[in-house]
Amino acid sequence: MLEFRQVAKAYATPQGPLEVLAGVDLALSAGEGLALMGESGSGKSTLLHLAAGLDLPDRGEVRLAGQAISTLSEPARARLRRESLGLVFQQFHLVPSLSVIDNLRLQARLAGCERADSTAELVERLGLTGLERRYPEQLSGGQQQRLAIGRALAPRPALLLADEPTGNLDEATAGEVLDLLMTLVRDTGCSLLMVTHSPRVAAPLARCLKLSRGGLAPHHPSERDA
């Protein structure tokens, strides 16, 4: 589903190049769940950006759904992203000018798979019934993130990339949102790559890796990570 082969990435900074990823290998198979941990600044978001084809590696190869991302044109990468990927971020990134229902419909339509009945059913599963006509700013943080998760999963992507999806929520809300995310991921059958600082968030996932000094290593989440 997702494969990194010796992926390296550096950023240009005024102090010279900052090497963030130094030869990362990663393989995520269909339906697999993986937690990605690591200190702030270790390169977790960079890794997710590369996985989504939002940025390209300096060296090595990223393969998504069997395709080498670097070999695709930008429009082809965008299409692959729309058809194969769901993205959820710490900031909810909803479309502020669209209502709840239109945020959901937009994503499904972009991916070319709108079905009105499934949108209504999704609203109910997200716990947003009665809020269909509201705009994102009229929702609580937890409601906004539930909407963002529903939007990401509405097109039934093969892979969900989540970057600290509960990082902006209080603990109780974070728990509810995580339960919803895990339930929908299970029902969709998609693979999940989730960045988190929380051992409790990482625990239900089959595998956990930690990013440090540019490389990935197996990791057992514990309270010391929090």
List 3, 31, 32, 45, residue binding Mg ion (CB under 5 A): 45
Smallest gap from Cβ 56 to ligand ADP, in A, equals 13
Q: Does 11 bind ligand ADP (CB under 6 A)?
A: yes
Angle between helices 116-125 and 100-110 (to 10 degrees): 130
38 versus 155: smaller Cβ distance to ligand ADP:
38
Q: Does 99 bind ligand ADP (CB under 6 A)?
A: no
Smallest gap from Cβ 201 to Mg ion, in A, equals 14
Q: For residues 12-25, b (16+ Cβ closer than 10 Å) or e, as one string?
A: eeeeeeeebbbebe
Q: Does 18 bind ligand ADP (CB under 6 A)?
A: yes
List 38, 53, 157, 165, residue binding ligand ADP (CB under 6 A): 38
The binder of 13, among ligand ADP, Mg ion, none, by C-beta within 5 to 8 A per type, is ligand ADP
**CB neighbourhood size of 8 (10 A):** 15
Q: Which region, judged by CB under 6 A, interacts with ligand ADP, from 13-21, 70-78, 198-206, 212-220?
A: 13-21
127 versus 167: smaller Cβ distance to ligand ADP:
167
The binder of 43, among ligand ADP, Mg ion, none, by C-beta within 5 to 8 A per type, is ligand ADP
Segment 79-84 long-range contacts (CB within 8 Å, at least 24 positions apart): 80/53, 81/52, 81/53, 81/54, 82/110, 82/111, 82/112, 82/155, 83/111, 83/112, 83/155, 83/157, 84/157, 84/158, 84/159
**CB neighbourhood size of 95 (10 A):** 13
Which residues contribute to the site for Mg ion (CB under 5 A)? 44-45
